[in-house]
Chain A
Amino acid sequence: MKFGVIVFPGSNCDLDAYHLVRDVLGAPVEYIWHAERSVAGFDCLILPGGFSYGDYLRCGAIARFSPVMPAVVEFARRGGLVLGICNGFQILTEAGLLPGALYSNTSLQFRCRDTILRVENNDTPFTRGLPPGQLLSIPIAHGEGNYYVDPETLAQMEAKGQIVFRYADREGRITPDANPNGSVGNIAGVCNENRNVLGMMPHPERAGEALLGSTDGLLIFKSILEYWEGCR
């Protein structure tokens, strides 16, 4: 299985994602420059964190029109696995591949710290190796991670199992104090209806080695790999 890490001008977590996949997960991975027009040969695309195009206008608003994006959209529509992390999540919502939008944290502060995520749906390619309700320690680093979606869409998403991660406290409770950015329902990650596209604000690629304080992020990448091997 081959991973591709898309590099936009202003991406800054592309190296971390590449490192985790190649050196920790041990899977083949290549960078894909945003000016490419094809993603042929890849099995999972990662849209990394950063500040693509300076986040001008809105986060992800300009990156969503990068030359590579039509190929990414087509790849996703055909069931290809797409993982958007932080700025990558913002790009996926702007591109219409995921519902909702991300905007300014209610605190108005950039939050860079560990968070605890509760796994809400383990029937996705990204979480199938995890028991539901499992808590993961994965850091966030964002100023605009406040997830908004209108109440009707949210109800549909909940019914379809599209809420994948919520911010929780150490006991796994979904509380206002555990919510670092004001997201509706403490939402930290969502998937599309087909569950092949996942967007999350926390950075699993920064939590893949004991040296970094947590290896919980690696579980998501292992899950992707196991899913892929199970499909073959």
Chain B
Amino acid sequence: MWRAEIKVLLKKSVLDPQGRAVENALASLGYANVNRVRIGKYLEVTIATPDRAAAEAQVREMCARLLTNPVIEDYTFTLVEVEA
């Protein structure tokens, strides 16, 4: 069994209003060296399959169909083997 740890972020070309607000808040706290904050989503999905390649393919399919919107979002993921 695998646990997919999926990170979803708005594309770099898409303005992230939440990230911008937090960026300004950090600046007002005096963190002058912070130049960019991006806020996204973190998803954990466990998949019952012994095969790593199958799990990977399924995560990509699920991300394309539902978990992300490719028009505005990018994602990355890692697979961690877990006890069934």
A-side residues, CB < 8 A to B, are 57-58, 61-62, 65, 93-94, 99-101, 103-108, 146, 148-150, 182
Residues of B within 8 A of A182 (CB): 15, 17
Q: Please classify the interface of chain A as helix (H, G, I), strand (E, B), loop, or mixed, using the class held by over half of its residues.
A: loop
B33 within 8 A of partner (CB): no
A101 touches B72 (CB 8 A): yes
Taking CB atoms and an 8 Å cut-off, the chain B residues in 45-83 that contact chain A are 66-67, 69, 71-72
B-side residues, CB < 8 A to A, are 10, 13-15, 17-18, 21, 66-67, 69, 71-72
A105 touches B17 (CB 8 A): yes
Query: How many A-B pairs with Cβ below 8 Å?
Result: 35
User: In the assembly, what is the distance between CA of A108 and CA of B24, in Å?
Assistant: 14
Assuming the contacts A101-B72, A103-B72, A148-B72, asked whether A108 and B17 have C-beta atoms less than 8 A apart, the reply is yes
A104 touches B14 (CB 8 A): no
- Closest chain-A Cβ to B59's Cβ sits at a distance in Å of 15
- Closest chain-A Cβ to B9's Cβ sits at a distance in Å of 12
Closest partner residue, chain B, to A149 (CB atom): B71
B69 touches A61 (CB 8 A): yes
Assuming the contacts A100-B71, A148-B72, asked whether A108 and B13 have C-beta atoms less than 8 A apart, the reply is no
